[in-house]
Amino acid sequence: MRLIAFALVSLMLSASVAVAQQPRTIVGVWKLPGQGCARADGALTIGPLSLEGEDVTCRFTNVSRSGATVTWTGNCDSAGGTGPETVVATEVNERLTIRYVRGGNVIEGLTRCPAGR
């Protein structure tokens, strides 16, 4: 009986460690320091297959994740034009960097807005 109890506790602990090691989703609203969480303030809303901001809208057809880096491919409409784009987002120490590969733009230092914003 003790062996079964020990095995169950070990299994639960290893499962909780595996869950703790998963990076959290970057889906949500992100802003630059000192700015608000509204689109008009420059905030970006990230969905599973989309990215929307004051002057950019992207719809993605593919997404992949490797650790803290998410890579999307699809199409973006922005001030620079409309066309295919690859967007790479990396979160380090609760700060998000977004890089538009084709367009060359990089947005650094984004912080997550509170839920419901």
Domain spans, the chain: 24-112
Residue 28's alpha-carbon distances to 24, 43, 52, 104, in angstroms, are 11, 10, 11, 23
CATH, domain range 24-112: 2.40.128
- pTM of the complete model beyond 0.85: no
Phi-psi region of 40 (alpha: psi -120 to 50; beta: other; left: phi over 0): alpha
Closest CA to 33 of 116, 109, 115, 114: 109
Q: Which tokens sit at 103?
A: 């367009």
| 68 pLDDT more than 90 | yes
**Bridge partner residues of 44 (DSSP):** 30
Per-residue pLDDT tens over the stretch 73-106: 999 998 778 999 999 999 999 999 999 998 788 9
SS3 content of the chain, % helix, strand, coil (to 5): 20, 50, 30
* pLDDT at res. 117: 54
pLDDT band at 20 (very low <50, low <70, confident <90, very high): low
| 24 pLDDT more than 60 | yes
Residue bearing tokens 């590969």: 101
pLDDT band at 22 (very low <50, low <70, confident <90, very high): confident
* pLDDT at res. 5: 46
The average pLDDT across 10-34 equals: 71
